Structure 1
Amino acid sequence: MMGHNQLRHSQGGPWVAATAAELLAGATSREAVDPDDGKSGSSFARVTIDGRGYFLKSLSPAGDWIMRITGDYEHRPLLVWQAGIIHSAPACIDPAIVGMALEGDGEHAVLSILMHDIGDRLVPEGDEPIRLAQHRGFVDHLAALSAAYWGWEDTIGLVPLSHRFRFFAPDNIAAELDVDDVPVPIRVADEGWRVLPERSPRLAEVLAGIHDDPSTLTRALEETPATFLHGDWKMGNLGSHPDGRTILLDWAYPGQGPACYDLAWYMALNRSRLPETKEATIEAFRSALERHGVDTGGWWETQLDLCLLGIMATFAWEKAVGDEAELRWWESRALGAIRWLG
């Protein structure tokens, strides 16, 4: 017999419960957990409902620093869920979401996201490269998602492209440095921005200009094709089913933007896990877009270069505290993109 939540989810369309209690109706156990990759301040729990395992994530702007620096006071995962965007993703993508519920008002409003417990199929923690086949699957399915929403326009108020470049801008994270327990990524970002002018003066200068006014970069990218961006293709959000489908979690930074931005994010945050060079990954993504019906002629080089610059506005601090070869690769590609800014 089909359980309560399976029945609601099977009726078609995204399920939004009125309360977290409704979302968890029939639960027989609930155990708080602290995922290794959970760095945001959200709370997590494993739940058993009708004898099946689920995973519950609860978050609010008051408790989640990532929501604050990304400017999410509207609960964007709920917006894309309600709009049917997640539910309508290509069959090769499994978001693992059962339903959501939002309770409260303002910055203390709590969004509860109930997911299937697929933890055993996620990419394990670590620094070892993943299998080439799995990596290529991720790249192919990123292209499939991009192609499925090619030309998509944001009409529901998701992450503005210009703000993606300012997620970790010094002035944007300043308030998070004043709390008693500064999150590790914020502390490292602060250190990285301070070190960058010593390690790469020209890159630091260019990125400071983008942080002050991202409009030139934004306008240049808006001249290239747009799609729907998931926004966080890091290994901590990825996994694979035995049938090859990609598990894609944490739709926290969705919005309209260039497909190459999701690619650049994937390469920047997963550098130690990639089983092939960035150049090979880039070519695999372009080939996958073409395979999924996207003509990459006329815009590819411009968009790719500008996205490699844009992702450094977001994450150059991480490269500034890392090894020399990694920093120099990104420095070269980012500075090379300046030619497209006019």
Structure 2
Amino acid sequence: MRYDERQDRWQVLDHETVAAVLADPATYSSDLSSLAPAQEDFETFRQGNFVGMDPPQHRSLRALVSQAFTPRVVQGLAPRIEAVCAQLLDAVADHDRFDLVDALAYPLPIIVIAELLGVPAQEHRLFQEWASVLFSGDQLGEAPDMADLERALEAIAPAVREMNGYVLQHIRNRRARPGDDLTSRLISAEVDGVRLADEQIVGFVALLLVAGHVTTTALLGNAVVAFDRHPGTDAALRADPGLLAPAIEEVLRWLPPFPELGRLVTRPVVLGGYQLPSGTLLMAHLGTANRDPARFEAPDVFDVTRHPNPHLTFGHGIHFCFGAPLARLEARIALRILQRRFRTLAVPGYQDVTYQNPAVIIGVRRLPVEVVRA
């Protein structure tokens, strides 16, 4: 552990302590709303965002959402994910060079989520526009302070307001005319006589945009970069298709899209040998925990055969990432299709690659690739 004087917070770095913090929501709260600037357009988000909730509120909301967003629902998306990948790559069929983010990594998860929610195809672009505004990080520096956050929230508030209004109307339409989609299942989900309010569903849809979209976009781009930067990896994956799943886990360990999670100490506690008072802000660093030599052999080696691989990229405990199964499924299908379509896929020059703001997410914004078709 170490104390960051400039930002007035403790940084938790080793795997064991990070895992312990994430597994104890009673002592280390996920509810950081008291620290965030007030912004009325984001209040609806918070009502359905169980990532920022503690038990028992977290438990009841996640149980309701889990009724609708089941493992069977996720696995049932596989054929459609394959079809969308094929459709997107058909659009660049005559290109020997294209931007992998624009062509595949960015639109794929947005289309899948929009279809899952029952959003008409002609309106999928709205979700792409909102996601672009919400997660660009253009208003933030690499170490944002409260003033930076306030400016960023004000800048993206109009997009949030527009998305809230759209999703709320979509929910009301589905209440009147239920369909075979996730929105309709969320409306009908019930636990102990309790159902989700419309505002809670809006907040969950916003969460799904994060869990199901930006994580997948970052994972796909990071995988292509990691495979390209480690010669022999692509050939090994082609020779042994069974390596793809562990390779994806190694990409997640190597480049976690969200490398740190905030927690607020709820009572005086001793952590890492330090006495921390109630109200202390902790940042649990998943990135450093994922390279802890006490937990990983040769942690600075990118090894697609690594087993076991207990990385913390998707969190730990009750807040384990709700969108993890969908992100893994989309990455596995997309990367396999890229291998089938292209005999080689390489990054011709990293001077043309642009990255996301690391204060928001670890990933690429532009990733030009050159391909040779199979």
Question: Normalising to structure 1: TM-score of the pair?
Answer: 0.24
Give the number of the structure with larger relative contact order, counting CA–CA contacts within 8 Å between residues 6 or more apart.
Answer: 2
Structure index of larger Rg: 2
Query: TM-score, normalized by length of structure 2?
Result: 0.22
Q: Which has the higher helix share?
A: 2
